[in-house]
Amino acid sequence: MIDIKFLRENPDVVKDNIKKKFQNEKITLVDEVIDLDKKYRASKLNGDNLRQTRKNLSNQIGSFMKNGEKEKAEEIKVKVEEINKQLEQNEASENELSEEIKKRMMRIPNIMHESVPIGKDDSENVEVQRFGEPIVPDYEIPHHADIIAKFNGLDKESAGRTSGVGFYYLIGDIARLHEAMLAYARDYMINNGFTYAIPPFMIRSDVVTGVMSFEEMDAMMYKIENEDLYLIGTSEHSMIGKFKDQIIKKNELPINMTSYSPCFRKEIGSHGLEERGLYRVHQFEKQEMIVICEPEESMDWYNKMWKLSVDLFRSWNVPVRQLDCCSGDLADLKVKSCDIEAWSPRQKKYFEVCSCSTLGDAQSRRLGIRVKGENGNYFPHTLNNTVVATPRGLIAVLENNYNEDGSITVPEVLRPYMGGLKRIEK
């Protein structure tokens, strides 16, 4: 949610930003907000004037009563009662106008960073750079589900009976490798100065609407029946929500944390679920990172954060590339975002494994997160990035460490988490 003062003073900038995101249907929201804002401020001024008049009249009542002029005092009391009725109506109008403004402001996209490429959808995201040489070996790399099947490591059939399509059992050394990746990612982030946390796996609706757009919420979140609770789709939501309505001391910034959680997603839409494998499922586990920082430091943190994911995957022998997300692929709250994609030697192309975003002060504004500064309170910037999400990260490790004899070489940094195991074999 952008600053209404900025919208009031720069309506053309806001409209142009909406056009660049190919959301022309939202342009009318800007004029609607400006019109409602004028009415709101007029109503607020009227309320201030009424309260001042009431105060002056109340002072007269005291004087008249002191001088024994009870009749005049009673006349003034009638006027005060009338003003009270007017104030009640005025406050109701203020609240209604404020709510209507908020509804529209929540739908207006955040102002994008000037470096965001313009494009309609993810097909127009721009490759920035590559890390590691994408290699296609001279032997066949099977589908990841077939690789895992060789080790009896995947059971989607049983999961279908217990939970339905989109769920799975991981078993044996594959399950162990999956957890080794998460454990290593946790320690890797701690060693890079992030504070480790395990957050709540359910959050209330006011936190959900504080951290994401309504469109994202409907497409992603599972709601708990008869409860004001949602299963988290990613732990940055509960991690940023941790600071809801808090005033942070300036010397406490930056706050940089890394969190583990399971994640739950509907996966509704054009992508759909993957019946056979693990690329797109309802449940997965993730190591996440979030930062709350000074506004002027957010782009520096943004670049630090995505580079951490790059270095992590490279330590697992996985070539990756960085893509800048274009305007049409940028969620409404985001200022700038990039994807880290891992190389698939089987498909001979890259696929998304991480997403790094800076959201400016949109989340802190929605959630009431403020910093106590020398010249008053202000909103900090928030950022998030995937450290690793499994099983998608697992797919990348399996394919890029698959040997011709069907075994999997365990990346060296993961071996201490696998009891020293160097290869996974039949």
CA distances from 225 to 91, 229, 353, 371 (A): 35, 8, 31, 36
Q: Do 172 and 92 sit in the same domain of this protein?
A: no
Q: Do 74 and 138 sit in the same domain of this protein?
A: no
The domain total for the chain is: 2
Whether residue 110 is contained in a domain is answered as no
Whether residue 263 is contained in a domain is answered as yes
Tokens of 354: 């991480």
Q: Do 199 and 53 sit in the same domain of this protein?
A: no
The DSSP string of 328-368 is: GGS-TT-SEEEEEEEEETTTTEEEEEEEEEE-TTHHHHHHT
Tokens of 320: 């990756």
> Is residue 388 within a helix (H) or strand (E), and if so which, with residue range?
strand 381-390
Whether residue 32 is contained in a domain is answered as yes
Q: Do 126 and 261 sit in the same domain of this protein?
A: yes
Q: Do 216 and 331 sit in the same domain of this protein?
A: yes
Whether residue 113 is contained in a domain is answered as no
Tell me whether strands 230-231 and 222-223 are parallel, antiparallel or unpaired. antiparallel
Tell me whether strands 376-378 and 370-373 are parallel, antiparallel or unpaired. antiparallel
Whether residue 117 is contained in a domain is answered as no
CA distances from 378 to 4, 37, 49, 381 (A): 14, 22, 29, 10
The residue out of 105, 133, 162 marking a domain boundary is 105
Q: Do 143 and 15 sit in the same domain of this protein?
A: no
What is the C-alpha to C-alpha distance for residues 281 and 263, in angstroms, rounded to an integer? 10
Q: What is the pLDDT along the chain (426 residues), one digit of tens a residue?
A: 889 999 999 999 999 999 999 999 999 999 999 999 999 999 999 999 999 998 888 888 878 877 778 888 888 888 988 999 999 999 999 999 999 999 999 999 999 999 999 999 999 999 999 999 999 999 999 999 999 999 999 999 999 999 988 899 999 999 999 999 999 999 999 999 999 999 999 999 999 989 987 677 777 889 999 999 999 999 999 999 999 999 999 999 999 999 999 999 987 554 555 667 888 899 999 999 999 999 999 999 999 999 999 999 999 999 999 999 999 999 999 999 999 999 999 999 999 999 999 999 999 999 999 999 888 999 999 999 999 998 899 999 999 999 999 999 999 999 999 999 999 998
Whether residue 285 is contained in a domain is answered as yes
State the sign of the Cα–Cα–Cα–Cα dihedral 35, 41, 42, 47: positive
Q: Count CB atoms within 10 A of the CB of residue 254.
A: 16
The residue out of 79, 105, 131 marking a domain boundary is 105
- Could you tell me the residue range of the domain that residue 175 belongs to? 122-424
CATH code for the domain in which residue 61 is found? 1.10.287.40
Q: Do 154 and 52 sit in the same domain of this protein?
A: no
Q: What share of the chain is helix, strand, coil (3-state, %, to 5)?
A: 45, 20, 30
The model carries a pTM of: 0.89
* pLDDT at 97 (0 to 100): 95
> Angle 172-191/392-400 helices, nearest 10 degrees?
100
Whether residue 146 is contained in a domain is answered as yes
CATH code for the domain in which residue 241 is found? 3.30.930.10
The DSSP string of 97-157 is: HHHHHHHHHTTSPPPPPTTPPP-SSGGG-EEEEEES-----SS----HHHHHHTTT-EEHH
CA nearest neighbour of 401 among 393, 410, 391, 414: 410
CB 184 within 8 A of CB 415: no
Q: Do 282 and 165 sit in the same domain of this protein?
A: yes
The residue out of 80, 105, 130 marking a domain boundary is 105
Q: Do 85 and 139 sit in the same domain of this protein?
A: no
State the sign of the Cα–Cα–Cα–Cα dihedral 237, 241, 247, 253: negative
Q: Do 158 and 42 sit in the same domain of this protein?
A: no
Q: Do 173 and 277 sit in the same domain of this protein?
A: yes
Q: Do 51 and 10 sit in the same domain of this protein?
A: yes
The amino acid at 55: K
Whether residue 147 is contained in a domain is answered as yes
What is the C-alpha to C-alpha distance for residues 289 and 364, in angstroms, rounded to an integer? 17
* pLDDT at 272 (0 to 100): 54
